Chain A
Amino acid sequence: MRAILIAAFAVTMSTLFAACTTTPTDEQKPADVVDKGSPTKPETSRVAPVDVTGKPSASGVNPLKDPNNILSKRTVYFDFDKFDVREEYRPIVEAHAKYLRDNPGSKVLIQGNADERGSREYNVGLGQRRSDSVKKMMTLLGVKDAQIESVSLGEEKPACSEHSEDCWAKNRRGEVLYSGEY
Chain B
Amino acid sequence: MRLRFFSLVLAALLPLCSAFVPAAHAQLAIEITGAGAQRIPVAIVPFAGEGVLAAGGITPIVRADLERSGLFRSVEVPPLSPAPTEASSINYAEWRSRLADALLVGSVSARPDGRFEARFRLYDTVKQAPLGGIAYTLTREQLRATAHRIADFVYEKLTGEKGVFSTRVAYVVKRGNRYELQIADADGAGEETALASFEPIISPAWSPDGRRLAYVSFEAKKPVVYVHSLLDGKRNVVANFKGSNSAPAWSPDGKLLAVTLSREGGSQIFLINPDGSGVRRLTSSSAIDTEPRFAPDGQWIYFTSDRGGSPQIYRVPVAGGEPQRITFEGSYNVSPRLSPDGKTLAFIARNGGKFQVALLDLTNKQLQIITDSDRDESPSFAPNGRMILLATVIGGKGVLSAVSSDGRIKQRLSITAGDVREPAWGPFIE
CB-contacts of A130-150 with B (<8 A): 132, 149-150
Q: Would A156 and B202 be within 8 Å (CB), given that A119-B291, A149-B242 are in contact? A: yes
Check B243–A149 contact: CB distance below 8 A. yes
Measured between C-beta atoms, what is the minimum distance from B373 to chain A in Å? 14
Interface class of chain A by DSSP: mixed
Taking each of B242, B244, B267, B334, which has the highest tally of chain A beta carbons within 10 Å of its own beta carbon? B244
Q: A110: shortest Cβ distance to chain B, in Å?
A: 10
B106 contacts partner chain A, Cβ-Cβ < 8 Å: no
Find out whether the CB atom of A132 lies under 8 angstroms from the CB atom of B288: no
Q: Is A128 an interface residue when CB atoms closer than 8 A count as contact?
A: yes
Which residues of A lie under 8 Å from residue B332 when comparing CB positions? 118
How many residues does chain A have at the interface if contact means C-beta atoms less than 8 Å apart?
A: 26
Q: Which of B128-136, B142-150, B258-266, B361-369 forms part of the interface with chain A?
A: B258-266
Which bucket holds chain B's interface residue count?
20 to 34
Do A120 and B378 touch (CB < 8 A)?
yes
Q: Are A121 and B200 in contact (CB under 8 A)?
A: no
| Cβ–Cβ contact B222 & A122, under 8 A | no
Q: Does chain A have a CB within 8 A of B290?
A: yes
A61 at the interface (CB under 8 A from B): no
B350/A118 in contact, CB under 8 A: yes
B202 surroundings in chain A (CB, below 8 A) = 120-121, 154, 156
Is B125 in the interface zone, CB < 8 Å from A? no
- Neighbouring B residues of A126 by C-beta, 8 Å: 288
Interface assignment of A29: CB less than 8 Å from any CB of chain B = no
User: Which residues of B sit under 8 angstroms from A93, Cβ to Cβ?
Assistant: none
- Complex CA gap A152/B246 in Å reads 10
Nearest CB in chain A: distance from B379 CB, A: 10
Compute how far the CA of A3 lies from the CA of B403 in the bound complex, rounded to whole angstroms. 45
A129 to B285, CA, bound (A): 13
12 additional contacts (CB under 8 A) given A118-B334, A152-B244: A118-B311, A119-B304, A119-B334, A122-B334, A125-B288, A128-B244, A129-B288, A132-B262, A151-B221, A151-B243, A151-B244, A157-B200
- Nearest first, the 10 closest Cβ-Cβ pairs linking A and B are A125-B288, A151-B222, A156-B200, A119-B334, A125-B267, A182-B221, A152-B244, A121-B247, A121-B291, A125-B290
